[in-house]
Structure 1
Amino acid sequence: MDSNLPLLYLSVLIVLLLVSGWFIVRQVVRTRRIEKTLSQLQKRVRGKDATAKDFYELGGLLLDKKLYSQAVVQLQKALKSKDLKEEENKALVYNALGYAYAAQEQYDLAIRQYKDALSLQPEYVTALNNLGFAYEKKNLDAQALDAYEAVLKYDSKNKVAKKRSESLRKRLPIASS
């Protein structure tokens, strides 16, 4: 038994090193892929042939990297792009722009963007949820509750809206009567 113990420890150590090595390699490959995509999009955007989709994708990558002010610039360019015609696509861009503003704690601007998204696509659940969040951050609890209840009207199983609306109902005496 005593002679097998060091072998067991060594085996466990090797397995742990292999597993952690696999996770590290996977993360490095993922990061490289993202950086390559980012670089390609930045080149396209610098050129004259960039599309609204290019600006939107670049803005999304910048949001993922938490570069919110840079993302705002790219998302605004996407909205101004002449090839952005479909209402659904515009709503996606407005929602992403609202998210970028909310991440910078510019809730008034975020609310405006979410409302623009909802004017194009009234049943856009993600924008409604985000609108509720922004209202909460502005301490506009009644409006936040309305937004979350609208989410539940379109998606009755939405966990975020259920949780937030229950919390807001407890805080708002008018809502419970």
Structure 2
Amino acid sequence: MSRQISQGEGLAVEIHTSTNLQKLFRKTLVTGGTQDVKKPYTWIPTFLTGQSFWLISTPMAQSLEIIKTNVVYETGELFELGIQLSYLLLLLGFLGIGTFFVIRQVLVRRELDLSAKELQEQVRSGDASATELFELGAVMLRRKIYPAATKYLVQAIEKWDGDDQDLAQVYNALGVSYVRDGKLAKGITMFETAVKLQPGYVTAWNNLGDAYEQKKDFKSALNAFEEVLLFDPNNKVAQPRRDTLKEQVKLYRDVPVKTKER
């Protein structure tokens, strides 16, 4: 029994002691004693949490910087690639346009050669009409063979039996051939004949004005371009040339005009 009492007292004591410890612990929670006990234990987890956050946040920040750098680098690459593609497309466009004009010139040249061959055969046979001689002269003019063009156009004029207004086109073509062959005076004569045969022939008037301007006869050139604007007020060739020549005529009004012949 005593052992039991002893054990019971012991349990009582332990309970009592535990109760006192609990009271003491509760008491220290209210008084300043708990702060001395609790400070180390609350600061250490906070410190560890801060360290962990710092250890985690630093690599994250570095990763974000790397991601930003990669994004900027990739954006720059895409922009540079876009510029290169634009230049490539532009180059291909120019090459395509150049190829188109080259092919077109080749086809036109071939067509002119075939036309010239057919017309020359008719001329050799002696059956060529004035119109066919004019066409052959025009073909030679486009091929820039000016002596041959002049030859066939003169023959067309000598053999002409059609309307005078149509004949004006032959004289105009002959004037172009003379001017391009360096025979400016003869070219002017042909253009003047063309506009006499057909007074409203705007192309011949423009050619006449250009020929006079090459001769430095600015007043006559101005008169020719003004004639063009009487028949075609919105002519894009004559308008700027007329305005420029007006200023030149004012400048040289009191100065004698010097031609190449003088």
Gaps of 5+ in 1: none
Match of 1:33 in 2: 111
Match of 2:151 in 1: 73
User: Is 1:52 the equivalent of 2:156?
Assistant: no
**1:3-22 Cα deviation digits (max 9, x unpaired):** xx9xx9xxx7xx78x94766
Match of 2:178 in 1: 101
User: Is 1:163 the equivalent of 2:244?
Assistant: no
Separation in 2 of the partners of 1:137 and 1:25? 34
Match of 1:150 among 227, 231, 249: 227
Q: Secondary structure at the match of 2:233?
A: coil
Match of 2:121 among 17, 32, 43: 43
Q: Secondary structure at the match of 2:126?
A: coil
Counterpart amino acid of residue 146 in structure 2:
Y
Separation in 2 of the partners of 1:160 and 1:24? 27
Report if aligned partners of 1:169, 1:175 keep a CA contact under 8 Å in 2: no
More relative contact order in 1 or in 2 (CA 8 Å, sep 6+)?
A: 1
User: Is 1:172 the equivalent of 2:257?
Assistant: no
From the superposition, tell whether residues 156 and 48 of structure 1 become closer, same or farther in structure 2 (CA, over 3 Å): same
Question: Scaled by the length of structure 2, what TM-score is found?
Answer: 0.57
From the superposition, tell whether residues 151 and 40 of structure 1 become closer, same or farther in structure 2 (CA, over 3 Å): same
Report if aligned partners of 1:133, 1:144 keep a CA contact under 8 Å in 2: yes
Match of 1:61 among 114, 139, 153: 139
Kindly name which structure, 1 or 2, has the bigger radius of gyration based on alpha carbons.
2
Question: Scaled by the length of structure 1, what TM-score is found?
Answer: 0.83
1:116 to partner: Cα distance: 0.9
User: Is 1:91 the equivalent of 2:174?
Assistant: no
Q: Secondary structure at the match of 2:246?
A: helix
Counterpart amino acid of residue 125 in structure 2:
G
Gaps of 5+ in 2: 1-80, 254-262
Q: Percent identity?
A: 38
Counterpart amino acid of residue 47 in structure 1:
S
Match of 2:64 in 1: none
